[in-house]
Amino acid sequence: MALYCRIAFRGKSFCCYRLLSTYVTKTRYLFELKEDDDVCRKAQQTGAFYLFHSLAPLLQTSEHQYLVPRFSLSELERLLSKFGQNAQRIEDSVLIGCSEQHEAWFALDLGLNSSSSTHASLPKSEMETELKGSFIELRKALFQLNPVDSSLLFTAQSLLHWHDGHQFCSRSGQPTKKNMAGSKRVCPSNKIIYYPQVKVWKRLSEGKLQRRWDWSWKDCSTLHPSTGPFLTAHS
């Protein structure tokens, strides 16, 4: 019995160690992609791209659910060439994650105009016909996507939206430039670095809730600080 317990414990410890090792390796690789433009550019050659148009992801219908098509770099280059654009447009893509096998995932919005890009928005209807799919608002397709795809698409949409709203420096007014992974934007004139904002969940005290919101009732004593509602606080 003791021998069986030792074997089971060692097997469980090995599985935990393997999961932790995979997580650490993946995290280190993502950090390298975000900090090194050359590594990120190389990862695009074997990576996968998710396409958006004006923050709406490209989806394909399959029975009672939506599928999220992915494109390789060569497929994306052929698509851009067909619509009269060159491969430089791919530099507007942003890194949104990677697999355990270190396949990098990127998102590219072909409907937004970038200050650093000379390319205009591509026609939505023509692209849908060519790609055999539809650009659908994410909130409308949420319950017809699997959890993994929906989480990844929300991450991509948030990051693309942040870049679209931070194309100019708030101090100098000059266009900012994103790095290859899209993990930051830099103002060339004053070297100010802008990072994507992160939403955190913070438990607010009763007093802060009263000051922030105009409650319709006078007594808020039922909202205990340790069990009160969660609200989104922007960093």
Which residues, in sequence order, are bridge partners of residue 106?
A: 49, 95
pLDDT at 84: 87
Kindly report, as residue ranges, where domains of CATH 3.90.79.20 are found in the chain.
Answer: 2-197
Q: Among 1.10.3720.10, 3.30.70.20, 3.40.50.970, 3.90.79.20, what is the CATH number of 2-197?
A: 3.90.79.20
Instruction: Tell which residue, 44, 45, 24, has the closest CA to residue 96.
Output: 44
pLDDT at 197: 77
Instruction: Tell which residue, 87, 26, 89, 96, has the closest CA to residue 68.
Output: 96
pLDDT in tens, 88-121: 899 999 999 999 999 999 999 998 765 555 566 7
pLDDT in tens, 132-158: 999 999 999 988 999 999 999 999 999
What is the distance between the alpha carbons of residues 223 and 229, in angstroms, rounded to a whole number?
A: 8
pLDDT at 1: 56
Instruction: Tell which residue, 153, 158, 148, has the closest CA to residue 59.
Output: 153
